[in-house]
Structure 1
Amino acid sequence: TPRGRISERRRRSLNKARKNQIGLSGDMALLGEFWQVLTENLARKHGTGPVHSLSEITMLAERFPDQIQIVCGTHQDQVVAGVLLFITATCIHTQYIAANDIGYQFSALDAVFDFCITKAVSDGKRWLDFGICNEQAGKVLNEGLYKFKTEFGGGGTVHEFFEIPLTGEENVD
């Protein structure tokens, strides 16, 4: 599916990232530094931490180097933003996304996402999956997050989930 129109706000943010010399790197050696940014971001914003520990995600990335990759935005050789990518034959899925205060100030995530979108297209992927935009187990749309993600030229998809008991017992909620 061709990329939709990028919002004017995202264009300005990309220019801001370029003006502030946000670098981009896919070096897995930056995983620890990114994980620190991610951990601090999740603690500050949501009072939680990443589902995986750094040692778990490092092990997974070592075992699946073609399927788990990183893209970091850097400023003065420091990671200020980044995303961990899970890659399949048809899709690049953004699993962990974070920025620190400098990253937000310089719109580093905009540069990271633009790179990821370009990568998905050049790698012949059908989709770049930004991940969910909902809360409360999918019952509430986080409208601000959805707007941010769609401003890069994408759209949303609703997934329906069905529960089928396999044990012969009925479990109706």
Structure 2
Amino acid sequence: MKKYVVKQYQESDYAVWNAFIGQAKNATFLFHRNFMEYHKDRFEDFSLLVYDEEKLIAVLPANRVEETVYSHQGLTYGGLMYSSKINGEIVGDIIESLLFFLKEKGMKFFYFKPIPSFYSSGGNHEIDFFLIKNGAFLDKKEMNLAINLALPLTISKSKLKHFRKIEALDLEIVEEQQLQSFWELVLEPRLLEKYDAKPVHTLQEITKLKSNFPDNIKQFSVYYNDDIIAGITLFETDTVVKSQYGATTKKGEELRALDFLFINLIHKYKREGKQFFDMGIVNDDNEKGYHVGLLKQKEELGCAVYSQDFYKMNLI
């Protein structure tokens, strides 16, 4: 085994980190420091950089809670980011070097949340292999729903039937540069009413993120008689578009405005050559472990089930 030098991220590494994320084979804009640090007051950063002598070859976005390190809790997905020039054997040595570093720092547990496989067209499952080889075990598995846009669409007949009816209505789809209308008039009140919950991002946070990443964060809203009735906030990468937030008012629910918007966006991104439309997980705290209605809704829009795995490792 070759041992690599592992270093904890410091503010002085900002430019080096971001430059690496820009060329890593399995990274997205979520790992840029301008995204990761919007909630830095909520997490103790413990991101790591891996060097082969003077050359940076991998980074691990992470945070710590006491003696536990997480592949970052503040991100939808995480994992180890590395160059396309890195082969499987080197990944194995990187993993062992990281684990050695964590143990040296007195860490007792390590939780690893890999990026879903469809984000990396070049593949990156060697990470999972070497984690398990070093004693990691599957701690949790969730269903991540996504549409492979390279295949023929399989939207259900009932969804398409309602879609054709909705098309006859005077609904307007608008790509908006501001998120205030959707957040304050649709998303926040709907989440509060239905789930007694709030969005993960505040309006101020998502506005700042959109200003930092205008090409990656998009807002599409549906208007009826000049009133906003539904919307979807999207996170775009080069190959994948993810529905980060989707919500509708009661009027929008009556008109099935959210389905109308989803189907239009699915066709839009298929035309534009995106590879996948990610609609996220459907987990729930009920006895089934998933939200039955959400699973059905997403499958009827043409989604298939992909795994979102979570690994745990005891370091002591």
Report the TM-score when normalising by structure 2. Answer: 0.50
What is the CA–CA distance in structure 1 between the aligned matches of 2:257 and 2:247, rounded to whole Å? 10
Q: Is the 8 A contact 1:24 1:74 kept in 2?
A: yes
Do structure 1's residue 158 and structure 2's residue 293 form an aligned pair? no
Q: Is the 8 A contact 1:133 1:145 kept in 2?
A: yes
Q: Is the 8 A contact 1:4 1:154 kept in 2?
A: no
Could you tell me which runs of 5 or more consecutive residues in structure 2 were left unpaired when the two chains were aligned. Answer: 1-149
What is the CA–CA distance in structure 2 between the aligned matches of 1:55 and 1:126, rounded to whole Å? 31
Other-structure match for 1:34: 182
Other-structure match for 2:216: 67
Other-structure match for 2:21: none
Other-structure match for 2:89: none
Other-structure match for 2:158: 9
Match of 2:203 among 51, 54, 64: 54
What is the CA–CA distance in structure 2 between the aligned matches of 1:97 and 1:12, rounded to whole Å? 21
- Show CA shifts across 1:76-114 (max 9, x none): 121100110000111000001100011111111112101
Q: Which amino acid in structure 2 is aligned with residue 62 of structure 1?
A: S
Q: What's the secondary structure of 1:6's corresponding residue?
A: coil
Match of 2:232 among 83, 86, 97: 83
Do structure 1's residue 108 and structure 2's residue 254 form an aligned pair? no
Other-structure match for 1:123: 272
Q: For this pair of structures, how many residues does the alignment match? A: 165
The 4+ residue runs of structure 1 with deviation greater than 3 A are: none
What is the CA–CA distance in structure 1 between the aligned matches of 2:299 and 2:189, rounded to whole Å? 26
What is the CA–CA distance in structure 1 between the aligned matches of 2:269 and 2:293, rounded to whole Å? 24
Q: Which amino acid in structure 1 is aligned with residue 249 of structure 2?
A: N
Other-structure match for 2:70: none
Aligned-residue RMSD, C-alpha: 1.7
Other-structure match for 2:29: none
What is the CA–CA distance in structure 1 between the aligned matches of 2:152 and 2:292, rounded to whole Å? 21
Other-structure match for 1:133: 282
Other-structure match for 1:94: 243
What is the CA–CA distance in structure 2 between the aligned matches of 1:3 and 1:64, rounded to whole Å? 31
What is the CA–CA distance in structure 1 between the aligned matches of 2:240 and 2:167, rounded to whole Å? 27
Identity %: 32
Q: What's the secondary structure of 1:26's corresponding residue?
A: strand
Aligned-pair CA distance for 1:7: 1.2
Q: What's the secondary structure of 2:311's corresponding residue?
A: coil
Report the TM-score when normalising by structure 1. Answer: 0.88
Q: Is the 8 A contact 1:16 1:106 kept in 2?
A: no
What is the CA–CA distance in structure 1 between the aligned matches of 2:304 and 2:153, rounded to whole Å? 8
Match of 1:149 among 298, 301, 316: 298
Q: What's the secondary structure of 1:89's corresponding residue?
A: coil
Higher relative CO (Cα under 8 Å, sequence separation at least 6) belongs to 1
What is the CA–CA distance in structure 1 between the aligned matches of 2:281 and 2:239, rounded to whole Å? 18
- Show CA shifts across 1:8-56 (max 9, x none): 2211221232222221011223x11100200011001100111111111
Relative distance call for 1:92 and 1:112 in structure 2 (3 A) is same
What is the CA–CA distance in structure 2 between the aligned matches of 1:159 and 1:58, rounded to whole Å? 28
Do structure 1's residue 20 and structure 2's residue 169 form an aligned pair? yes
Q: Which amino acid in structure 2 is aligned with residue 144 of structure 1?
A: G
